[in-house]
Amino acid sequence: MKKIKEYFATHFAAYFVLILFIVFSILIFIFGGYLRRIYFDFLLEQNYEEENTLIHYVKDDLNDTIRSLILQGSRTAVDAEIYQTAQHWEQEEISARVNDTLKLNTMLKRNINSGGAIVDAIVSADGIIAQYDRVRTTDGTASMWSGDNYESVCQMARQMIDEKVPVRERSLPRVKIYTEPSVHPSRSRGVFHIALPLTGGMVSAWDTELLLVSTYSSDILTDVLDSVNIPNSDHIKGFITDTEGNRLYFSSHGETDSVDEKNYRLLTEELDFFGWKLNIEINEEIMWQTVTNVVRRMMFVIMGVLLLVILLILYLFSRMMRPVGLLSASMKKAEKGELNTKVNIEGRHEIWQVAEEYNRMIGILEEKNEEIERQHQTALRSIEQQHDAEWEALESQINAHFICNTLGCINYEAMEAGNHEVSQLLKKLSNILRYTFDQKRQEVMLYQEIAWVDQYLYLQKLRREDLFDYEISFPEVYGHWPCCKLMFQPFVENSIIHGFEGREDGGLIRIMVDMDKDRLRIRIEDNGCGINEPEAERIRQMLGDEQGPGMRLTQEPENSGVSAGDIPGAEEHKNTGRTGVGIRNVITRMRMFFGQNFEASLDTEPGKGTCFTFLVPIPEMKEDVDE
């Protein structure tokens, strides 16, 4: 996991692609949810409108189908020959009925072959007179009205013969439909039965005691119900219910279980026969699942395309970022001092142009390095010559004025060589030395002391690279306050040497000057490691007034703290303690210069830094102060 985090942290392309993938994934899921809702509403409305229109056509088809079946049975029921043969069969003795039975079976077979029934039977209240079963003839199975079904058909005959109907209603067609038994004994198909009075066209339908029962395959109705279905979908089902609401026949999708009314819509139309109703059920729950599956597959396709796009982006990024990798490798070698390593240019776009600029920079650095090496060799020879001339220099009593003038000459040489950075450093060093060696001026103006410490910190910062930075907040209105010379140096030096000990960067020194009532407040603070309590207490004793603990400062050992010299580089001779001669001496000088109203304090906490605060009164102006 750490390696993965490190990889994403150091590879912009991977981080960019990861963010791109997350953003697009979220957008895809949001869009998928929105699309699913819109698509579902559209599909539901469209299906409802289509099925609402279709149900009328299906109703008409069912009415026509049932009507045709009744007409087919009616043609057999009014056949005079069949009626007379059946009447003769009833009047004959049992032993003489065989010929009539065979004759009736032959006539029933003829009518079945010309119609759509699978079984025709002639039944009286006493039982079956004759029947022809096309399924039994084909498969050799038991006939429709054998076994347990025999009593069922007899019961149909008795109910219909014994039915009492008012005379005013006898003008209506006398036909009944039965759904039980619902399966042929062959178990190969579902069936239903239409019963008609057998009249032969000779007697009234209400006076005959013979019944024609025609059995039909339920596939006839199922085929019509299938027209309500949408191909490859099972969320729309058609079915027929009886007068009591029982579900009788279904489309080929199979029977539907009752569902929560909130999850489906039901369209209903009443048929012309038997009090049956045609129903179309639109199951919203199944439709929602179907839409969800479609959207999910679409999202998988989109995610797959997105992954392909991401792989393409990674490939393009790797090609585009190749010069960056080459630049990084070359820079790492340059850090080790191998300046002769240049990037092999392979393209012309902007990053390769940066690589070309880098190669030019490396070339310039090589030239500068060679020039510095030559200067170094020259300096070494000069040092050797200087060692040879030391005795003569001592005899010539080289003074500070001569040193500063010499630095000025070197400065001019650096300026002529175009090395302005070295020139600036020489100027600051010359100013610091001139300020330090000037024994005539021990009392200076505050702006002069601030300028000196600014140059001092600049050189220290440059020397120690990125160890620390510094800030000076100094209102110019206080610039002509008199002060003693080099009073800031021991404190800032203490911060640099001890406060930032062990650090490589991140140090900060602040010097802030403002007013506190009638005294000037000067604060020198750092964000270093702070001072532990025993050492802090010893320093506070140094900062105390001369009548207090500060009187014991003269007894501090020389190796008890920082030896803060009066010139840059004096800290090289530091001792191991936290307090030192430099701080003690400068506090003594400041107290003598500013008088009894001078106050100094220390705020520190291990790990959080150190702050020295001085409250400085306005001393009396002296004639020898250099304006």
- Residue 353 forms part of a structural domain: no
Least reliable range by pLDDT among 198-202, 235-239, 317-321:
317-321
What pLDDT shows up at residue 514? 92
d(CA 602, CA 538): 11
Residue 387 in tokens? 């060692």
328-363: pLDDT as tens digits: 777 777 777 776 777 777 776 777 777 788 788 878
525-577: pLDDT as tens digits: 999 999 888 888 998 988 874 433 333 333 333 333 333 334 444 444 344 34
* Mean pLDDT along residues 127-155: 82
Considering 285, 313, 338, which residue would you say is the last residue of a domain? 285
**Confidence category of residue 614, pLDDT binned at 50, 70, 90:** very high
Domain count, the chain: 2
Query: Which residue would you say has higher pLDDT here, 194 or 32?
Result: 194
Looking at the chain, the whole-number percentage of residues with pLDDT higher than 90 is 8
d(CA 571, CA 339): 34
Q: Which residues pair with 351 in a beta bridge?
A: none
What pLDDT shows up at residue 88? 86
- Residue 46 forms part of a structural domain: no
Considering 285, 301, 329, which residue would you say is the last residue of a domain? 285
Among the listed residues 507, 554, 559, the one whose alpha carbon sits nearest the alpha carbon of residue 528: 507
513-522: pLDDT as tens digits: 999 888 999 9
**3-class DSSP assignment, residue 281:** strand
**Confidence category of residue 167, pLDDT binned at 50, 70, 90:** low
| Phi, psi dihedral angles at 51 (to 5 degrees) | -70, -30
* Averaged pLDDT of the chain: 77
- Residue 117 forms part of a structural domain: yes
pLDDT at 95 over 90: no
186-212: pLDDT as tens digits: 777 788 999 999 888 888 877 788 899
416-453: pLDDT as tens digits: 777 777 777 777 787 777 777 665 666 889 999 999 99
- Residue 372 forms part of a structural domain: no
- Residue 525 forms part of a structural domain: yes
What pLDDT shows up at residue 470? 92
* Mean pLDDT along residues 39-57: 79
- Residue 118 forms part of a structural domain: yes
238-255: pLDDT as tens digits: 888 888 888 887 776 655
What pLDDT shows up at residue 139? 64
**3-class DSSP assignment, residue 305:** helix
User: What are the residues whose beta carbons fall under 8 Å from the beta carbon of 152, sequence distance 6 or more?
Assistant: 145, 180, 181
- Residue 505 forms part of a structural domain: yes
* Mean pLDDT along residues 34-51: 80
What pLDDT shows up at residue 565? 39
- Residue 390 forms part of a structural domain: no
**Confidence category of residue 579, pLDDT binned at 50, 70, 90:** very low
* Mean pLDDT along residues 300-315: 84
* Mean pLDDT along residues 371-396: 63
474-490: pLDDT as tens digits: 998 888 889 888 888 88
Residue 22 in tokens? 């997350």
* Mean pLDDT along residues 314-325: 75
- Report the run of H or E that residue 1 belongs to, with start and end: none
Query: Which residue would you say has higher pLDDT here, 425 or 610?
Result: 610
CATH label of the domain that carries residue 195: 3.30.450.220
d(CA 436, CA 415): 25
pTM passes above 0.75 = no
3-26: pLDDT as tens digits: 777 766 666 667 777 788 888 888
What pLDDT shows up at residue 391? 43
- Which residue shows structure tokens 């178990």? 187
Domain interval for residue 280:
51-285
| Phi, psi dihedral angles at 597 (to 5 degrees) | -80, 0
CATH label of the domain that carries residue 561: 3.30.565.10
Considering 285, 319, 349, which residue would you say is the last residue of a domain? 285
* Mean pLDDT along residues 258-265: 59
